[in-house]
A and B are shown apart, each in its own frame.
Chain A
Amino acid sequence: MTYFLQQLINGLQLGFVYALIALGYTMVYGIVRLINFAHGDVFMIGAYFGFYLLGRFKLPFPLAMVGAMLGCAILGITIEKLAYKPLRNAPRIAALITAMGMSLFLEYFTSLKFVFGPNYLAYPRPFPIVNFNLGGVTLSNIQIIVFGVAIFLMVVLQIFVAKTKTGMAMRAVSFDKQTAQLMGIDISRIISITFGIGSGLAGAGGVLYGIAYPQINPFMGVMPGLKAFVAAVLGGIGIIPGAMLGAIIMGVVEVMTAAFVSSTLRDAVAFGILIIVLLIKPTGILGKPAAEKV
C-alpha cells in the first residue's frame, strides 16, 4: 500500500510536468487548430534556460524559473510570427508540416556544439534534497516544489482565462474566430499571447523536469511533448481543465505501469488508453459530444 502511494506521488509529479506542457498544446490547438509539434522542443529549451541560469549565472531558483518562462514565451511568440502566421490561411496540413520542421530544427540546431551540444548534461541542484517521511511514503522537497509551482501556475492561468478581458477574448477567439474579429478583437495579438503563455508554461515545465529528473539533452522534449499532447487530447483538446486532468492521468498511468507491470510497456499502455478513449469518446474525457451538423 505504501508502495502504491509512493508510486502515486511519483506519478503525480510526472503528471504535473506533463500538465504544464499540455496546457500550451491545448490552448494553441483551441485557438488556431494546430498541433504544434515544436511545443515539446520549447519545453526542452526551457530546461536549458534553467540549466544556464541556475548553473552558470547562479541565479536563485525562483528567478531562474521566471527567466526560463520569459525566454520561452519570447521564443514561442517568435516561432508563431515567423513560421505559423504566414500560413494562417493555407491548408492546415502545411502548418502541421512546418511545425514538424520547426521541431526538428530546434532539436538539431540546439544539438550543434556551439549551442547546447548533443550530450546529456547533469542538471544543477539549486538546493539540497530534503525528504519528508509521511508514514512510510517519502515526499521530497523537489516534489513539493513541482506540485506547488504547477498548481500555482494553473490556478493563475485559470483565473486569467476566466476573469480578465484578454482571457475572455481568448475564449471568444477559440469559439469563433470570425465573430471574435467582428467584435473588435485583435486576433493576431490574442494568438501571440496564447503562444506566449503556452510556451512560458512549457518553459516552467522544462525547469521543473530538469530538477526532478536531472539529466537533459536536446531530444528530451520529444516524448514528453508527444505525451503531453496525448494528454491534452485525452482530457478534451481545447479545454484547459481537460489538459490538466489528462496529463495527470497520463503521468500516473505511466508510472504505475512501470512499477506494477513492466517499464518497457509504460508508453504502450498510455497510448493504448488514448486509442480506447478516442473510440469511446473522441472529444476526450471533458469534451462535449459533438453531433455532426448535417
Chain B
Amino acid sequence: MKRLATLRSIVIVVAVYVVLQVLISLGLINPYWQQILSFAGIMAISALGLNLIYGFTGQFSLGHAAFYGIGAYAAAYLSKSIQSTNPLILLLGIICGGILAGVVAFLIGLPILRLRSDYLGIATLGFGIIMKIVFDNADAIIPSLGGSRGMTGIPRLTSFAWVFAVFVLGIIILRNLVFSSIGRALVSIREDEVASEAVGVNTTKYKTIGFVIGCIYAGVAGGLYAHLYSFLHPSNFDFLKSIDVLLIIVLGGLGSISGTIIIAFAWTFLLEGLRVILPEAILDWRLVIYPLLLIIVMLIRPKGIFGGREIKFLFPKPESFKTPINRSETSK
C-alpha cells in the first residue's frame, strides 16, 4: 500500500516535470512565463518554510522576508565573487544561503522565541525592518552588495529545472519532517505549549528547530531568487514581502502543504496574469484589484481556501494526522 502510494507520488512529480519541459521546448511557455513559473516555485519554497514555523509550530513570524533576503544576498555574493557560470555555483550558493539564514535564525530565535503570539510577530517584524536597513546600507561594508542602489551582475543561473528540483526536495523533506515524532512535537507546541512541556517536549528546543528549518527554506528560496533575475534590491525583502508569504500560507490553510503550494502558484500567476489581462489604460488597477480580491476571499473563507485539508492524491498521508481547521485563537 505504502509503496504504491510512494510510486504514485513519483509518477505524478515526473509527469508534471515532463509536461512542463515539453511545453517549454515547444515554445508554449515562453521565457517570460518560465521565469514567472520559477518565481512561483521559489515563493512556494519560502512559503513552505513559513508554514512550518507558523502553520505547524504556531510561531507567528512577520519577518520571513528577512531570511529570504539573507539567503539571496549570501548566495549572490558567493557566485559574484567566484565569477563563474558553472551551475554548481548555484548549488553552493543556495546551500550557503540556506545555512546563513539558518544560523541567523538560530541566533535571533534563541532570545525572541520566548515571546508569544503577537509579541513574537512584532519582534520578527522589527527584525525584518532592521535587516532591510542592513541591506540598504550593506555597500558601506561590502561594496559589491550594492546597498540601496541594488546589487547587479549576479550570474543568471537559476533555471526552471533547478527550481523544480529544489521545490520537490523541499516538499519531501517537509512532509517527512511533519509526519514524524519531531513533527508531532512541533504541532503540539502550536496546540498547547504548556501541555506540550508537561508531557516532556522540550518546547524551547523544538520551537528553535522549527524556526531554523523554516528560515533555511527561506534562505534557499532567496538563493534561487538571486540567480533568477540577476538583480537584487533591498525593497525585494521589505515588510510587505513577509506579508506576501504570510498570506499565501493563510489562504492555503495553515498547516496544509498542498494548500501552500497551490496558493503560491495561484497568487504569483494572478498578480502576473492581471498584468496581461488588464488593458493598458487600467493597468494601475492591478494593485487595487489584488487587495480587494484578498479581502473578499478572506471574508468568504476565513479559514483559508482549502481550510487546512490536504489534497489526498498528492499527499498519501499517514492516517490520523489531521491538520488544524479552526484556529480562532492564536494567543492565550
Contacts and interface: CB of A to CB of B under 8 A. Distances in A.
Contact of A226 (B137, B239, B330): B239
A226 B130 CA distance: 13
Interface stretch (B40-48, B110-118, B163-171): B110-118
B133 A294 contact: no
Interface in B242-295: 243, 246-247, 250-251, 254, 284-285, 287-288, 290-292, 294-295
Contacts of B129: 226, 267-268, 271
A105 B295 contact: yes
* Residues of B in contact with A, size category: 35 or more
A92 B332 contact: no
A108 B287 CA distance: 6
Given A91-B326, A92-B328, A282 B294 contact: no
Contact of B299 (A35, A83, A229, A264): A83
Interface in B221-251: 239-240, 243, 246-247, 250-251
B112 A112 contact: no
Interface stretch (B19-27, B91-99, B119-127, B202-210): B119-127
A241 to B, nearest CB: 19
B302 A87 contact: yes
B250 A278 contact: no
Contacts of A93: 250, 254, 327, 330
Given A83-B295, A93-B254, A94-B302, A292 B332 contact: yes
B271 to A, nearest CB: 12
A226 B239 CA distance: 10
Contacts, number: 127
B330 to A, nearest CB: 5
Contacts of B134: 268
A89 B130 CA distance: 34
B288 A101 contact: no
Given A91-B328, A91-B330, A278-B119, A230 B246 contact: no
Contacts of A109: 288
B125 to A, nearest CB: 8
Interface in B163-217: 194
Given A275-B126, A279-B111, A91 B136 contact: no
Nearest to B327: A91
Nearest to B330: A92
B112 A275 contact: yes
Contacts of B81: none
A101 B239 contact: no
B123 A275 contact: yes
B284 A97 contact: no
Contacts of B294: 97-98, 100-101, 104
A214 to B, nearest CB: 24
Nearest to A237: B118
A33 interface: yes
Q: Is the interface of B mostly helix, strand, loop or mixed?
A: helix
A264 B133 contact: yes
A247 interface: no
A186 to B, nearest CB: 22
Contacts of B287: 104, 108
A184 interface: no
B250 A94 contact: yes
Interface in A93-143: 93-94, 97-98, 100-105, 108-109, 111-113
A274 interface: yes
A97 B194 CA distance: 27
Given A94-B250, A264-B137, A278 B123 contact: yes
Contacts of B330: 91-93
A90 B115 contact: no
A233 to B, nearest CB: 5
A289 interface: no
B298 A101 contact: yes
Interface in A256-294: 264-265, 267-268, 271-272, 274-275, 278-279, 282, 292, 294
Nearest to B324: A91
Interface in B303-332: 303, 326-332
A282 B119 contact: yes
Nearest to B147: A264
Contacts of A113: 284
A292 B197 CA distance: 14
Contacts of A267: 129-130, 133
B194 A292 contact: yes
Given A91-B328, A93-B254, A104-B290, A278 B295 contact: no
A221 B119 CA distance: 22
Contact of B250 (A33, A97, A233, A268): A97
Given A92-B328, A94-B298, A105-B291, A275 B127 contact: yes
A112 B291 contact: no
B291 A104 contact: yes
A92 B329 CA distance: 6
B291 A102 contact: yes
Contacts of B112: 275, 278-279
Nearest to B287: A108
A101 to B, nearest CB: 4
A98 B299 CA distance: 8
A265 B330 CA distance: 33
5 contacts: A83-B295, A90-B328, A105-B288, A265-B137, A279-B112
Given A90-B328, A93-B327, 9 more contacts: A103-B291, A104-B240, A108-B288, A113-B284, A226-B129, A233-B122, A264-B136, A274-B122, A275-B123
Interface of A: 33, 35, 83, 86-87, 89-94, 97-98, 100-105, 108-109, 111-113, 226, 229-230, 233, 237, 264-265, 267-268, 271-272, 274-275, 278-279, 282, 292, 294
